[in-house]
Amino acid sequence: MSKIISLLVVGSLIVPTFAQSPPQSAAALYQRGLAAEKAGDPATAKKFYTSALKLDPNYADARFSLGQLKLTADNITAKGREAKFNAVPIPVFQLDQATLQESLDALSQIIEKQSNSEVTPNFVIQDPKNLLSTHKISLNLKNVPAQAALKYVLEQTGAKARYDEHAVVIIAP
């Protein structure tokens, strides 16, 4: 009888250490929010931070990150789009005396094909003084990320890129 009581006492002490109650801790939800934020998905990050605060209303890190997210959501989203763009590998990219518009059209087609239409860049050229139209671009690239190919195109024109919500905006110098 004493063995049975001992087993019950030991068993009741061990079981709570293995059980996690509630199913996800506030810290785990917070970490998932950080991961979503790093991946460029502020909407998902907000859900995780909010869920963490529901489990633990005094979780200061989650409260702070939720507040920061309100200030930086657009920037996080842009970085996420830039990361998706950069993740597309370009096996071969060759240009010979192409205009900027022709270069961007070719790059857009390759990116769309290589990503199986998951990434479809919209390039918008902001060049009110028509400074970029006279540049001719020649490149011969192999096995580079899409962002590197764009960088080399832009270096030959002196232009810069900005990743907006629905487009990659090319800005004249």
Q: Is the pLDDT higher at 96 or at 167?
A: 96
CATH number corresponding to 18-83: 1.25.40
pLDDT score for 152? 95
pTM: 0.65
Cis status, amide bond into 22, omega within 30 of 0? yes
Does residue 88 contact residue 111 with C-beta atoms inside 8 Å? yes
Which residue intervals of the chain bear CATH 3.55.50.30? 89-171
Q: pLDDT for 116-161, tens place per residue? A: 988 888 999 999 999 898 899 999 999 999 999 999 999 999 999 9
Q: pLDDT for 21-56, tens place per residue? A: 444 798 999 999 999 888 888 899 999 999 999 999
- Which CATH number among 3.55.50.30, 3.40.50.720, 3.40.50.920, 3.40.50.300 corresponds to the domain 89-171? 3.55.50.30
Q: pLDDT for 51-92, tens place per residue? A: 999 999 999 999 999 999 888 888 888 787 778 888 899 999
Q: Is the pLDDT higher at 14 or at 54?
A: 54
| H or E element, residue 97 | strand 89-98
Runs of H (alpha helix) within the chain:
2-18, 26-38, 42-55, 60-86, 100-114, 146-157
Which residue intervals of the chain bear CATH 1.25.40? 18-83
